[in-house]
Amino acid sequence: MKPVPLHLLPDTATVQADGSLAIGGCDVGELAGRFGTPLFIYDEAHLRARCAEAVAAFGPGRAYYATKAFLCTAMARLAYEEGMHLDVASGGELYVALRAGVPANALAFHGNNKSLAELRMAITEGVRHIVVDSFDELDRLDSLHAEGLPAPKVLARITPGVHAHTHEFIATGQDDSKFGFNLGNGDAHKAVDRMRRSLSVQLEGVHCHIGSNVFEAGNFAKAAEVMAAFAMPLDLPELVLGGGLGVPYVQGEEAPSISQWGNVLLDACQALGVRSNVCVEPGRSIVAGAAITLYTVGTVKHIPGVRTYVSVDGGMSDNPRPVLYGSGYEAFLARAVLAPRPERARLVGKHCESGDVLIFDAGLPQDVRVNDLLATPVTGAYGHSMASNYNKLTRPPVVFVRDGAARLVVRRETYEDLVQCDVG
Ligand SMILES: Cc1ncc(COP(=O)(O)O)c(C=O)c1O
């Protein structure tokens, strides 16, 4: 197998004279020495460039960063500084964004089962939009209005009946979905009629999101077409077409850039005569490629005639995507970025579970050995944000690197953190 494809590495990644990796002008081996492993290393210039690209493609205030992909105080601030608004999908995400200093009127609040308390928080804080997902949520909004809360500005989340070509668990636009009001069975029209007549909400637009890690521009154009046909007679100010743009994770995968995605969506809307502001909510395409995860190899076990297992010091607790969706990744040695990878091995974590796999069939350099630093690229989205404490592993720290400097933005959890909530 060839060396790791360099286009999978963060924008500022370089191969140093001795063949080792630097990102943001920082030697990755030194970062491991300073912060330990496992370690998430984010290229700040890459993050900022993708945010700026989204804002340039759609216009200021029309690109919402989907915080579920990766959220911490520094990331919320960075996205907002670059001109993005933020999409939050729980009271917790809302709290983190507000605490980071992002104004409430730059936030859209999502969720298929928002609690009364979460809705109350969103209204009291004054979020820009609540994206209403169900008739039950409308009942809750009625009761909050009856309590005396103001009528929030809302969007109606529509399930357009468009199948995105992606994993079943992250496809959301088809009729058989827990999300939104179905267009096909008339619920979308009923919901919009109710919202237009309601005194508890102010309907400002409609929203859809067909799924995540979608590579085919045609899927997005189809969703834009269906949504435009629904939205145009309503003549509302906003049409939000969700996120979902895929990114390449492994050799051979290709995805449209954010600018190309913007062209597909905006051209489709323009051709159909849409007059509303067209907004989007990219998550993965902003952050995925910006990061690598750095691990230390702990054991190399050869089973003749069966396979080789290479175990690292993290696993499904810092990257559950391979186990959840069968997602593929590449791996390479931080000391030898350009080394060919002829050795076949299963890259596994340290959890007490055979399913704890990071790469089912990894290509690795022949001389991979204990104590090597092994990196997996494209781990910036849905890795740290989906991390758990399974087996009471402490969640890894996050470092932002830029212009030769590294700043710790999320510290490593400690054993003491693991018992913080235990009261008995
Ligand atoms: C409503 C909504 N918007 C945006 C996103 C972000 O999607 P992605 O990270 O694929 O861009 C999601 C992800 O599931 C979502 O559910």
Residue 5: what are its φ and ψ, rounded to 5°? -65, 125
| Chain mean pLDDT for the chain | 96
Angle between helix 135-146 and helix 187-197 axes, rounded to 10 deg: 10
**CATH class (in words) of the domain with range 44-287:** alpha beta
DSSP per-residue string spanning 106-126? GEEE--TT--HHHHHHHHHHT
Quickly count: other Cβ atoms within 10 Å of residue 404's Cβ. Answer: 10
- Hey, which residues does 278 pair with through a beta bridge? 239
Residue 245: what are its φ and ψ, rounded to 5°? -65, 130
What's residue 171's pLDDT?
64
What spacing in Å lies between the alpha carbon of 326 and ligand 1's midpoint? Answer: 19
**CATH class (in words) of the domain with range 6-43+288-419:** mainly beta
What spacing in Å lies between the alpha carbon of 281 and ligand 1's midpoint? Answer: 6
Angle between helix 44-58 and helix 73-81 axes, rounded to 10 deg: 40
Q: Where are the beta strands (DSSP E) in 280-348?
A: 291-303, 307-312, 332-333, 343-348
Closest residue by Cα to atom 13, ligand 1, is 212
**Nearest of 375, 381, 362 to residue 320 by alpha carbon:** 381
Ligand 1 atom closest to residue 110's alpha carbon, by position in its atom list: 1
Ligand 1 atom closest to residue 285's alpha carbon, by position in its atom list: 11
- Pocket-testing residue among 209, 245, 284, 386, ligand 1, by greatest number of atoms within 8 A of Cβ: 209
pLDDT, tens only, 91-138: 999 999 999 999 999 999 999 999 999 999 999 999 999 999 999 999
- Hey, which residues does 363 pair with through a beta bridge? 344
What's residue 76's pLDDT?
98
Q: Which positions ≥6 away from 46 have C-beta within 8 Å?
A: 10, 11, 12, 289, 290
What spacing in Å lies between the alpha carbon of 89 and ligand 1's midpoint? Answer: 10
What is the arithmetic mean of pLDDT over 250-271? Answer: 95
pLDDT, tens only, 171-189: 666 788 899 999 999 999 9
What spacing in Å lies between the alpha carbon of 191 and ligand 1's midpoint? Answer: 22
- Pocket-testing residue among 51, 53, 68, ligand 1, by greatest number of atoms within 8 A of Cβ: 68
Cα separation, 412 vs 424, whole angstroms: 25
Instruction: Please confirm, yes or no, whether 279 is among the known catalytic residues.
Output: no
What spacing in Å lies between the alpha carbon of 159 and ligand 1's midpoint? Answer: 14
Asked if the domains 6-43+288-419 and 44-287 are classified in one and the same CATH topology, the answer is no
Q: What is the DSSP letter of 9?
A: S
Q: What is the DSSP letter of 353?
A: S
Q: Report the largest interatomic distance among the alpha carbons of the chain, rounded to a whole angstrom.
A: 71
- Our measurement of the distance from residue 79's CA atom to the centroid of its chain's CA atoms, rounded to an integer in Å, reads 13
More confident residue, 176 or 153: 153
Low-confidence winner among 85-89, 207-211, 305-309 (lowest mean pLDDT): 207-211
More confident residue, 110 or 1: 110
Q: What is the DSSP letter of 12?
A: T
- Hey, which residues does 157 pair with through a beta bridge? 207
Q: Where are the domains of the chain?
A: 6-43+288-419, 44-287
Ligand 1 atom closest to residue 207's alpha carbon, by position in its atom list: 1
| Radius of gyration for the chain, computed over Cα atoms and rounded to the nearest angstrom | 22
Cα separation, 63 vs 84, whole angstroms: 6
What is the arithmetic mean of pLDDT over 41-60? Answer: 98
Q: Which pLDDT band, with edges at 50, 70 and 90, does 168 fall under?
A: low
- Hey, which residues does 344 pair with through a beta bridge? 363
Q: Which positions ≥6 away from 281 have C-beta within 8 Å?
A: 63, 64, 65, 66, 87, 108, 209, 240, 242, 243
What's residue 172's pLDDT?
67
pTM, entire model:
0.97
What's residue 331's pLDDT?
98
Task: State in Å, rounded, how far the first CA of the chain is from the last one.
Answer: 53
pLDDT, tens only, 282-335: 999 999 999 999 999 999 999 999 999 999 999 999 999 999 999 999 999 999
What's residue 191's pLDDT?
98
What is the arithmetic mean of pLDDT over 142-170? Answer: 88
Cα separation, 250 vs 327, whole angstroms: 10
**Ligand 1 pocket by C-beta < 6 Å: which residues?**
66, 68-69, 87, 110, 209, 212-213, 242-245, 281-285
- Pocket-testing residue among 114, 168, 169, 212, ligand 1, by greatest number of atoms within 8 A of Cβ: 212
